[in-house]
Amino acid sequence: MSDAGFSDRVAVDLEYERSQIERATDSILSAAEGQGFTKASRFAIRLAFEEAVTNAFHHGHANLPAQPIRVEYEVSNDAVWIAVEDRGKGFSPEAVPDPTLDENLSLPSGRGLMLIRTYMSEVQHNERGNRLEMLYKRPGA
């Protein structure tokens, strides 16, 4: 994943509590706003972060409900980098069906990863599939 001039990485463990998730979300978005990222950029970052955290708890920790996930992030003038890591056995991103195919349109789930890939500039999983790293580059940077 490309280097975007980061300097201060923040790491936090999150339990499946809405207040903890919102605190982390607010911290990331406040830092992004402080660097001048627009409302549209913050919408994209928030959506991707919410989807990544939901996937980590819902899928990664389906059998580990009391375990925290690990969130790391860095915000620079040019980009926002976020990593979300769960303690599950991982998954294969390639195996997730395309939710935009006609036969999948009326299925109620399976859109989170696709939205992350659409809204973020770069997305990658580790080999085990339990850690997602994503980068949002400032448009035009």
Partner 1 sequence: MASSESRLRITERNTVTCVEFIDRNILDEMNVQAISDEIGGLIDGADSPRMLISFANVDHLTSAALGALITIRNKVKGKEGELRLADIDPQIYEVFEITRLTGLFNIHDSTDDALNAFD
Min CB(65)–partner 1 separation in Å:
13
Site string for partner 1, 28-67 (x = CB under 8 A): ------------x--x--xx--xx--x---x---------
Q: According to the binding rule CB under 8 A, does residue 111 interact with partner 1?
A: yes
Crossing angle between the packed helical segments 112-119 and 39-55, to the nearest 10 degrees: 150
Q: According to the binding rule CB under 8 A, does residue 103 interact with partner 1?
A: no
Q: 126 phi and psi, to 5 degrees?
A: -75, 175
Min CB(122)–partner 1 separation in Å:
18
Longest dimension (CA), the chain: 45
Q: According to the binding rule CB under 8 A, does residue 27 interact with partner 1?
A: no
CA distance 24 to 31: 11
Pick from 72, 81, 61, 58: which is nearest to 24 by CA? 72
Q: According to the binding rule CB under 8 A, does residue 93 interact with partner 1?
A: no
**Which positions ≥6 away from 59 have C-beta within 8 Å?**
88, 91
> Which residue in 94, 106, 127, 140 binds partner 1 (CB under 8 A)?
106
Q: Rule CB under 8 A: which residues touch partner 1? A: 17-18, 21, 40, 43, 46-47, 50-51, 54, 58, 99-100, 105-109, 111-112, 114-115, 118
